[in-house]
Amino acid sequence: MAKLTAAEMIEAIKELTVVELNDLVKACEEEFGVSAAAGVVVAAAGPAAEVEEKTEFNVELTEVGPNKVKVIKVVREATGLGLKEAKEVVDGAPSIVKADAAKAEAEEIKAKLEAEGAKVTLK
């Protein structure tokens, strides 16, 4: 059997009726284990909606590090918690230090905690 070029295949497809084209698509789906519907859904979705930039973050203390006392002080300063409550947050790591903090505030808290040797993630 001679190989057809892409242009020859397209010309052959153009000559098919809608029913024949539908049968061809079904045969290709069965032969190759794919679905033409997935491509249609993606194409119908249009351009992706712009992703909103996140403005509020949860500051999570993942690891305390070697300076536990200094980390407790930073947690107290950042949250306004008492000594006992701040110690519980630090001892319970990984834990949320501050929820729904503004981006600048979250980055500031993260920098202060990391300066004391703690590991922090913003979520």
Question: Which CATH number do you get for residue 109?
Answer: 3.30.1390.10
Residue 10, domain member (yes or no): yes
Residue 49 has pLDDT above 80, yes or no: no
Give residue 16's pLDDT band: very low, low, confident or very high (50, 70, 90). Answer: confident
Question: pLDDT tens across 56-108, in order?
Answer: 888 888 888 888 899 889 889 988 888 888 888 888 878 888 888 888 888 89
Residue 27 has pLDDT above 60, yes or no: yes
Domain encompassing residue 22: 1-34
Does residue 66 sit in the same domain as residue 99?
A: yes
Does residue 61 sit in the same domain as residue 93?
A: yes
Counting other chains too, the contacts that 104-110 makes at CB distance below 8 Å and 24 or more residues apart are 106/56, 106/57, 106/58, 106/59, 109/59, 109/74, 109/78, 110/59
pTM, entire model? 0.55
Domain count, the chain: 2
Give 74's contacts (C-beta < 8 A, 6+ positions apart): 109, 112, 113, 116, 118
Does residue 21 sit in the same domain as residue 72?
A: no
